[in-house]
Structure 1
Amino acid sequence: MTHLCTRLRRGVVVAAAVGALVVPAAGGAAVALPSSAVTAGQPSPSPSGDGVRALTPDVRRQVDDAVRRVMDQANVPGVNVGIWTPDKGEYVKSFGVADKATGQPMSSDLYLRIGSETKTFTVTALLELVDQGKIGLDDTIGKYVDGVPNGDRITLRQLAGMRSGLFNYSQDEGFFKALTSDPQRPFTPQELLDYSFKHPVLFPPGKKFFYCNTNLILLGLVVEKMSGQPLADYIHDTILQPAGLDHTLFPHGAFFPDPHAQGYTDQTASGKVENTASWNPSWAWAAGAMISQLQDLRVWARTVATGQLPDGDRLISAPTQKQRLTTPPTPIPGTGYGLGIFDVQGWIGHNGSLPGYESLTIYLPSAQATLVVMLNTDINYKNSEPSTLFGDAITKIISPDHVFNLPAQPAAK
């Protein structure tokens, strides 16, 4: 999932759930669980206890060294890392700088854009409407949005599971030129769909897995139509407030609350590295426009993976959550993609990538462990997203039986 990614022209999809936007990376991807994957209330077995090591001083030093090594290799300016377990300790640390010009240090209270992790919120909003009986996952998108190619055949389930066959608007050359020539310009959802719909469909609905931001734009429109509220308002009222996510937001335009980190990308018209903090993420909308902080993502990791709020109430009913976490596996080894969420070697969640920013928010049910990584660049290193490099390096240390090893995937043909 490109990362579930929203990367601009890079057709890479970081398998499953952790979200990146493959177009100007707004995104993050969810994973359909493989046959061994977690279903609601049923953690995957671990060969060694719960699969997570105690965060001893030695393990903490190993994590420090691994993070610094990835930073040096991938030239990452700054990164926040959080690891939380119920009984084996926690680790929260910031590395590097939030602003290369001033040298402002990275810190865990900074806001960063979370790209495709937005998909987990949009799909959660959709599933709430399923629980309310307002929509059905096997309804076709044509019931709610006119003009969709194959709209009388593509279901909401296939959109959320990245199996629609629609072209990814963020891979359209015209879109890339429009965005990079004026990164502050706003885009409407219909403009984004127009970039997709001028292309032929890639395959019949349900036949393949293909990470695609177009799917989430359509689901965002369904949420608006059936809730009677703007998507940002509905997510705030029914997800962010109940979960206590006071430092997470769906921004209007280019709004970016302070304090925030500057972001650095090479997805520019010139190909040179630029600061993207002032870019307007409306181009990613329901697929990748949201903003958050480290501690909020800690809460969200467990909430989205279990469907349960911090106070014990359910955000999503158990039967609907089970559907979210159960879908056909992807072609990516060890990775499944459910409904806006992925499972990579037992870690459930999503990654996100937007020009200048990446994140990874994942939860390991067998250990009730959470890992969150937030950084201020999306520049690939040897065709790998840095968020994935951090996830791989850290989980090799803390959960060697469950390594987050999400390979970059080529775009569908």
Structure 2
Amino acid sequence: MRRSPARALAAALLLVLASAPAAASAPVDQAPPPAAVSARYGDDCPQEGLGPELTAKLDQAIERTRKEAGVPGVIVGLCLPGRGSYIRSTGVADTATGRPMQTGLLMRIASVTKTFTVTAILELVDDGLVGLDDPISKYVAGVPDGGRITLRQMAEMRSGLYPYTADPDFVQALVAGPERQFTPQELLAYAFRHPNTSGPGEKFQYSNTNTVLLGLVVEKVSGLSLADFIDKRVDGPAHLRRTLFPLAAEFPSPHAHGYTDLTPTGAKTDATDWNPSWGWAAAAMISDLDDLRRWAQVLATGTLLSPATQAERLKMLPTGIPGNDYGLGIFDNHGWIGHNGSLPGYESVSVYLASDRATLVILINTDIHHEGSEPSTLIAKTITGIATPDNVYDIQPQD
């Protein structure tokens, strides 16, 4: 049974941690074999491979999962210090031309953006300019119960604020005009017309409303646009050379085309140039494999933050989803620390396994669910089931 556009958009835009069932996508035509290993996957990542046996096993399993899930193209980077690295692309970046996927292509990273926005907030904490337990009303007026909701609770996804992506009028507006430019204030208006879903701190509920508000706090306190603050204080110090925060629908080349079925009829379409402003601080950024590999390590180890602030970030609380806990804009999935993302046309996973000092990055050019699961989760589970069987990444679909 095909999802209705409203239900499909609400499910997808609330992200992987609250996935809803979806129809399986059609199979993709035969794709070229995996591309060559990237030459710039990170200075601290072993340049040697994982050996012919393990490499072949991963090649075969990823390709099998890609085809079963109907994913056009996949980029994978797995770094296992002491064992080697695995960097591959497979499938196509453009179904119309058959252009192969390549490891150096730019991709929309969706809710991995949240890790950048929350890092910006935590840097302001280290600067002494904001406090995690400050109420949001200190910085943004008009937030329902804003005098009791703290910045910490919003970063933890425990504010109780209604997720604007679940508002039917928002869904209709986005489906009708995916090229539309939304302002943060317009997004929040969709949320604030609804009563809060719970009291502050009472329970986990994934909501982009939280991160949009945190983005406004960054702008008010720093005097910079969120894009400029992230560029100067996060991307620059982390040495991320190809990561950017678009102001509208711009998408520098070279990039992969992205495909979605989140349309009025449920038909698959090319969403490459859809405007990600609807996600802003929660979902709008662009990056590539090399930068996300570096970012996964920086994020999980706290390179940009004081040890005390990083310790606050990593105080994980249960989400109610087995194997998944959530801290301050970051999750722990069976030992893998980081975040994932999903928006029309693209999905991402960028995570770090502290016990092995390992990083895993997955970038794909579709968000079409397969048998109720996010395709990026299926690929991550396939890879980790082989390479790190004691720590298998897996987010179970939630009804």
Contact 2:16/2:342, CA 8 A, preserved across alignment: no
Q: Provide Cα deviations, 1:36-67, integer angstroms capped at 9, x if missing partner.
A: xxxxxxxxxxxxxxxxxx92321111111121
Q: Provide Cα deviations, 1:259-295, integer angstroms capped at 9, x if missing partner.
A: 0000000111221111111111000000000000001
The equivalent residue for 1:288 is 283
Extract unaligned runs of 5+ from structure 2.
1-7, 20-48
The equivalent residue for 1:345 is 334
How far, CA to CA, are the matches of 2:170 and 2:177 in structure 1? 11
How far, CA to CA, are the matches of 1:306 and 1:104 in structure 2? 37
1:196 aligns with 2:191: yes
Which aligned pairs between 1:264-279 and structure 2 lie closer than 5 A?
264-279=259-274
How far, CA to CA, are the matches of 2:249 and 2:258 in structure 1? 13
Q: Which has the higher contact order (CA 8 A, sep 6+)?
A: 1
1:13 shift after superposition: 4.5
The equivalent residue for 2:11 is 10
Q: Which of the residues 364, 375, 394 maps onto 1:375?
A: 364
Q: Residue 100 of structure 2: SS of its match in structure 1?
A: coil
1:243 shift after superposition: 1.0
Contact 1:324/1:338, CA 8 A, preserved across alignment: yes
The equivalent residue for 1:361 is 350
The equivalent residue for 2:42 is none
Q: Provide Cα deviations, 1:110-134, integer angstroms capped at 9, x if missing partner.
A: 1000000000000000000000000
Q: Residue 319 of structure 2: SS of its match in structure 1?
A: coil
Q: Provide Cα deviations, 1:89-129, integer angstroms capped at 9, x if missing partner.
A: 11100000000001110001110000000000000000000
The equivalent residue for 1:261 is 256
Q: Which of the residues 236, 239, 246 maps onto 1:244?
A: 239
How far, CA to CA, are the matches of 1:120 and 1:302 in structure 2? 12
1:70 aligns with 2:72: no
How far, CA to CA, are the matches of 2:90 and 2:316 in structure 1? 37
Paired amino acid for 1:329: P
How far, CA to CA, are the matches of 2:353 and 2:73 in structure 1? 25
Contact 1:14/1:409, CA 8 A, preserved across alignment: no
**Which aligned runs of 4 or more in structure 1 are off by greater than 3 angstroms?**
none
How far, CA to CA, are the matches of 2:321 and 2:296 in structure 1? 22
The equivalent residue for 1:102 is 97
% identical equivalent positions: 57
How far, CA to CA, are the matches of 1:8 and 1:213 in structure 2? 13
The equivalent residue for 1:235 is 230
The equivalent residue for 1:139 is 134
Q: Residue 196 of structure 1: SS of its match in structure 2?
A: helix
Contact 2:259/2:346, CA 8 A, preserved across alignment: yes
Q: Residue 11 of structure 2: SS of its match in structure 1?
A: coil
How far, CA to CA, are the matches of 1:113 and 1:378 in structure 2? 11
Which aligned pairs between 1:55-134 and structure 2 lie closer than 5 A?
55-134=50-129
Q: Residue 9 of structure 2: SS of its match in structure 1?
A: coil
1:319 aligns with 2:308: yes
Alignment RMSD (CA, Å): 1.6
Q: Which of the residues 365, 384, 388 maps onto 1:395?
A: 384
Contact 2:15/2:111, CA 8 A, preserved across alignment: no
Contact 2:316/2:332, CA 8 A, preserved across alignment: no
The equivalent residue for 2:181 is 186
The equivalent residue for 1:409 is 398
TM-score, with structure 1 as normaliser: 0.86
Paired amino acid for 1:176: V
Contact 1:13/1:409, CA 8 A, preserved across alignment: no
Alignment length (residue pairs): 364
